[in-house]
Amino acid sequence: MKKLSLLFAMIAFLAGNVFAQTVLIDDDIQAYTVGNKLAVESQAAGNDFWTTWSNAPGGAEDGVVAELGGTKCAHFTFDNDQVLLLGGMESSHYEVEFDMYVPTGKDAYNNMLHIFNGSGSQWATEIYYNHSTNGTKITAGGNDYSFTFPFDTWFPVKYDVDLDNDVATFYVNGTEICTWQFSLKTDGGAGSRKLDAIDFFPPTSAAVSDYYVDNVKLTLVGSVSAPNLTIEPEAISETVGEDDITTVDINIANSGTAMGDWIAWVDFEEGGAGSQTATLAYHDGQESSGIGSSGGPYAREMAIRLPGSAYAASAMGMKISKVKFQTSSSYASADNTYTFRVYGQGFNNQPGEKLAEKVVTSSSLGTWIEAAFDNDVYMTGQTMWATVALTQNAGEYPLTMDGGEYGEEADGNWLSTQGGTFDHCYSEGSFGGAWLITVECQGELVSGSWASLSDIEGSVAGGATQTVVLSLSTIGLEAGTYNSTLYIMTNDEDLPEVQIPVTLVADYDGIADNAENAFKVYPNPTSGMITVEGENISAIAIYSAAGQLINVVNNTTVDMSSFGAGVYYFNIIDSANNSTVQRVVVK
């Protein structure tokens, strides 16, 4: 039997041991001593891939080495919580295999994790075997798939995980059960495209939960892959007439074999010192729900996410003067400390670099507390995250939310537990509001609505090209020259950052207005539905009078009844990507 440290195997492979298939983990348990703890025996043998949920080898969570039918294997019973570390792979193609044995009348459970971090982990799958409530099924990508398995005999289980194409397939006893988009979480929400661990957990009770695992293997299929990105153009300069819009295609091509991930924003730079102020929040100012749990203590971090489009017209270029949080009227943080943080834009719809942090101590209930940071943080165009971290005691509910019903995908209700990934804290019909977090800004307001992106994050498969549209608008803009920088960050080690200078010349003398229009918009003015007539209309982008993009619709009838009275602009785009701007008045 060949036993390898996962880290050693990867180093050896990268040094040049290239095969069609490379075995990274191969553990048949035969070298271990029967009756001893699995992770302890594994580590004593020089293997680093077995641990427990709490990273406590040798404790109650650690399964034991057993003998069944003349072969050594891992034996898992109730209270065990064994974790197989898979290396946190983010590219290439892998197979994960093991054999299972479930005695008649017993049940079993295991899951695959995108991210292993205890209670802050992110689940990719959950698999139940003969469970009294859930039956025998795998939950993956938001769907349940039933299957069968034999009792009292060994049967193989296999995952085929192709990270480069973001697809996985699950097999039991040689039968394909399902295929799904691997990066999705078990509830179907967007997750991390990462292969991190498998958790073996007997789920029910000492009387019912009992199973065995053997012949554990992780195999790299083919060679290690990597993205190879090119981004064009290198610079952008456009001249646009009054109240008009033009678009520029940004092409992100991937000639590599791994998925190419990218994030982007238009940076408008810092404004000067000034007395202008802006308040950014999603809540209504009134505490309604206290969020927590019966378990604990837990480290919780509440967050609001502020894309550049959310503050383009109100706070672009300003400095964050303070972040505020209203404490619960009933429960304080366990140690009376609240940690305020600001992060920049990151990958996978998560916070990026930590830009500022301040710890505030307070035992006050139902009171606004605030943090002014020691370093300057400016709102220049990237997605910003404002967070408040605290410790929740068991049975307490110190996370404060208003009584709104903003929907599961709202940017005012992000939550991380125990340092895990941020997800929406939302339960339909129970709580769906926004955290009582406010960001206050001060300084000189910079014009930040004249350039916007169709997408700020994406992934490009090997051999493919993705096009992102940069819109340049003179709506509500004075004549003159405007400059910004388009930042694109990638997971390509050879192209981690691209900066593209962007220049817009708003020339209201040199370019004639488009007096003749191929589209008819009526009724105008309107207080309700408005119709756009014309040939080959593909999309309508709606802008405010200040030039901020409000919405993009694919219908030729637009409901304006929820819009406040004022002037709006429709950028009407046809199938040939030609665009025409029309002024619309809502009364």
Burial of 576 (C-beta count, 10 Å sphere; 0-12/13-18/19+): exposed
Decide yes or no: CATH 2.40.30.10 for domain 520-586: no
* CB-CB contact of 52 with 33 (8 Å): no
pLDDT of residue 432: 86
CATH code for the structural domain at 276-443:
2.60.120
pLDDT of residue 118: 87
Among 300, 341, 299, which residue's Cα sits nearest to residue 320? 341
State the Rg of the chain over Cα: 28
Q: What is the pLDDT of residues 79-104, one digit of tens each?
A: 999 999 999 999 999 999 999 999 99
Sequence ranges of the domains in the chain: 6-221, 229-268+448-506, 276-443, 520-586
Do 229-268+448-506 and 520-586 come out as alike in CATH topology? yes
Below-70 pLDDT ranges, the chain: 1-20, 510-517
Q: Select 6-221's CATH number: 1.10.10.10, 1.10.287.70, 2.40.50.140, 2.60.120.200.
A: 2.60.120.200
User: What is the reported pLDDT for 551?
Assistant: 87
Give the pLDDT confidence score for residue 511 in this predicted structure.
56
Q: 227, 256 in Cβ contact below 8 A?
A: yes
Bond from prior residue into 150 cis (ω within 30 degrees of 0): no
So what's the pLDDT on residue 104?
A: 97
Output phi, psi for 309, to 5 deg. -65, -20
* pLDDT, position 274: 87
Q: Where are the beta strands (DSSP E) in 379-493?
A: 384-392, 396-401, 414-417, 423-424, 437-443, 451-453, 457-460, 465-473, 480-490
Give the start-end residues of each E strand in 474-556.
480-490, 497-506, 520-522, 529-533, 537-544, 549-553
Half-sphere exposure of 536 (CA within 13 A, CB side): 8
pLDDT value, residue 510: 65
Residue 241 DSSP symbol: -
Residue 547: its pLDDT value, please? 76
By DSSP bridging, strand 276-281 and strand 457-460 are unpaired
> 350-389 burial by CB neighbour count: b if 16+ within 10 A, else e?
bbbeebbbbebeeeeeeeebbbebeeebbbbbbbbbbbbb
How high is the pLDDT of residue 55? 94
Against a cut of 0.85, is the pTM above it? no
The answer to whether the CB of 288 falls within 8 A of the CB of 370 is no
Q: Strand runs (DSSP E) across 102-244, as ranges?
A: 108-115, 122-131, 135-140, 143-146, 155-162, 167-172, 175-181, 195-200, 210-221, 229-232, 236-240
Q: What CATH number has the domain spanning 229-268+448-506?
A: 2.60.40.10
Q: State residue 453's pLDDT score.
A: 94
Q: Residue 517: what pLDDT?
A: 60
